[in-house]
């Protein structure tokens, strides 16, 4: 199984920036999509950003488009979420998610990080 460790959360002021990282240990396959989710108190978990196995395609929630950037460094087994122009409504626990596939695109597993708290406040 894979283990995902997140870091980079913290307290920032509105308009500030923060970069989250998620590093995977343990090997499943070399073919995996990576995603960031977030969940605020009293709300459902929300997909924030996604990136394909090759890194050529990204997708973002409307609420973060133009402010957040997802990227990956396969040499480091790491996915990043760069967050700019942060707003109080961005406050949530952020979770990384990795979905592994075989070379023939058969699903092999779906793994989650432990979550990291992001708080945007004056």
Write out pLDDT tens, residues 23-67.
Answer: 998 777 888 899 999 999 999 999 999 998 877 899 999 999 999
Comparing CA positions, the residue from 8, 83, 102, 97 lying closest to residue 45 is: 97
- Other CB atoms within 10 A of residue 101 CB: 17
Q: Tokens 């395609």 — which residue?
A: 57
CB-based contact 6:97 (threshold 8 Å) = no
41 token code pair: 């108190």
Average pLDDT for residues 80-105, to the nearest whole number? 95
Q: Distance between CA 72 and CA 57 in Å, rounded?
A: 11
């Amino acid at each position: 199984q894979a283990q995902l460790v997140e870091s980079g959360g913290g307290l920032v002021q509105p308009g500030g920036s923060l970069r989250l990282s998620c590093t995977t240990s343990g090997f499943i396959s070399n073919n995996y999509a990576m995603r960031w989710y977030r969940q605020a108190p009293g709300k459902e978990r929300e997909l924030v950003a996604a990136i394909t196995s090759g890194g050529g395609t990204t997708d973002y929630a409307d609420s973060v488009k133009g402010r957040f950037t997802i990227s990956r460094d396969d040499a480091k087994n790491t996915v990043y979420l760069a967050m700019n122009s942060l707003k109080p409504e961005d406050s949530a626990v952020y979770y990384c998610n990795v979905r592994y596939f075989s070379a023939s695109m058969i699903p092999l597993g779906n793994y989650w990080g432990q979550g990291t708290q992001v708080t945007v406040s004056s």
